[in-house]
Amino acid sequence: MAKLQRVDDRLELHFASFDAPSPDRLVVDFTKGRMGYRGPRAGRRNEPLARAIGLKAGDCPHVIDTTAGLGSDAFILAQLGCTVTLCESHPLLAALLEDGLKRAAQHEALAPTIARMQLIPGDARDTLRTHQADVVYLDPMYPHRQKSAAAKKPMQLLQRLLGAHGQGEDLLELALGRASSSGVRPPNGVAPRFARVVVKRPLRAPPLGEIKPHHSIEGSSTRFDVYLGNYSK
């Protein structure tokens, strides 16, 4: 069972633990820990994610992150200059994200980055049907196998909260159904079109939904499958 708790100045999600003296906890903090280290060091050349979304000099796309989770990838993209719309359907995770964004916005060095991040709680499918963007990004839940116990803990807690597998195939199908390489944004009232869809996968996993991408960009333990506009199976 998970419960939100206010601890000092931040919101934490506590998980009941019967075999430990204190509960396991999740928190979104863009100022400390892994994100506090990685964010300022993110660079266009050393981020496979940046290459996957098509980030180029002078061209920072607007990205819809349909499975924001703890916001780590959205934060990196915003650090690199992208405007990012974060979607999170789980209300407890959405609350953690909102709290983390508010606290980070109070840091002078991070304020410009946080200003490029907008959280929309609720079903990402609604956002895909109504919002314009250049890129749709999906990071469906999957079993992580990092060697570091510290790196595994947040993912273990997310899996306890969301289950071993999150939504994915339906979001991919919806995004691909609206993909267009024309680069022309439709008028108001017309369903949005996206130039690119990017899916984060384990390095050796099959493509999401067995839908073959145009190409893939590999990192050390993950892979980004890229689907370009006017996709045809």
Q: Is 139 annotated as a binding residue?
A: yes
Contact 81, 116 (CB under 8 A): yes
CA atoms within 13 A on the CB side of 149: 0
Q: What is the DSSP string of 78-96?
A: HHTT-EEEEEE-SHHHHHH
137: β partners: 65, 198
* Tokens of residue 136, six digits: 């749709």
118: β partners: 85
Residue 33 region by backbone torsions, left for phi larger than 0, else alpha for psi between -120 and 50, else beta: left
Contact 117, 70 (CB under 8 A): no
Evaluate the CA torsion angle 138, 167, 162, 86 in order and state its sign: positive
Contact 118, 133 (CB under 8 A): no
Residues forming the annotated binding site for S-adenosyl-L-methionine?
Answer: 139
Residues forming the annotated binding site?
Answer: 139
